[in-house]
Amino acid sequence: MAKSGAIYKVCRGSEWAEVTVAGLWQGAAVDRADGFIHFSTAVQVPETVARHFAGLPNLVLVEFAAAALGAALKWEPSRGGDLFPHLYGPLDPALATQTWALPMGSDGVHIYPEGLKFD
C-alpha cells in the first residue's frame, strides 16, 4: 500500500548527530534486529514515544516525506492493526525534511513540537 505525506523517526539525539555525519543508516539496534527501520505517522508518534522511549532524555523527532523513501518503504500492520511505515533498506539522513528536539517536561513526559498535529 502506497501512502504519502510525512512520516517520523524517533531516536536519540546523539545517534542522529552521528548519522548525519556518517551518511546512510541501517537504523537503531531494534531496527536492525527487526530487519527494517521503524517509522510512525504523526498520529502514531505519541504512542510510539510512550511505549518505546518513555523517560529517555535527548530524543529527536525526524520528519521525512514518505514518497522520498521510494519502494523500500512498506506500510504494514502493527499495533492494533494500524499500518506503520517500515523502511527495508538504509536511510539517507539527507532526506530529512525537519528535525525537532523532544525535551522532557518536569512530569517526565516528552514535549512535542508546537504546531505538529497528532490527529
Contact in structure between 87 and 37 (CB atoms under 8 Å): yes
CA angle (91 as vertex; 114, 103 as ends), nearest 5: 30
Q: 83: which strand partners?
A: 77
Q: Which CATH architecture describes the domain 6-102?
A: Alpha-Beta Barrel (3.20)
Residue-wise pLDDT for 53-111, tens only, equals: 999 999 999 999 999 999 999 999 987 888 999 999 999 999 999 999 999 999 999 99
Sketch the domain layout of the chain as residue ranges. Answer: 6-102
CA atoms of 95 and 111, how far apart (whole Å): 24
Q: Report DSSP state, residue 21.
A: H
pTM as predicted? 0.92
Grid cell 532524555 is found at 57
Q: Report DSSP state, residue 14.
A: H
Residue-wise pLDDT for 29-51, tens only, equals: 999 999 999 999 999 999 999 99
Sheet with 6-12, strands from edge to edge, namely 6-12, 59-65, 96-102
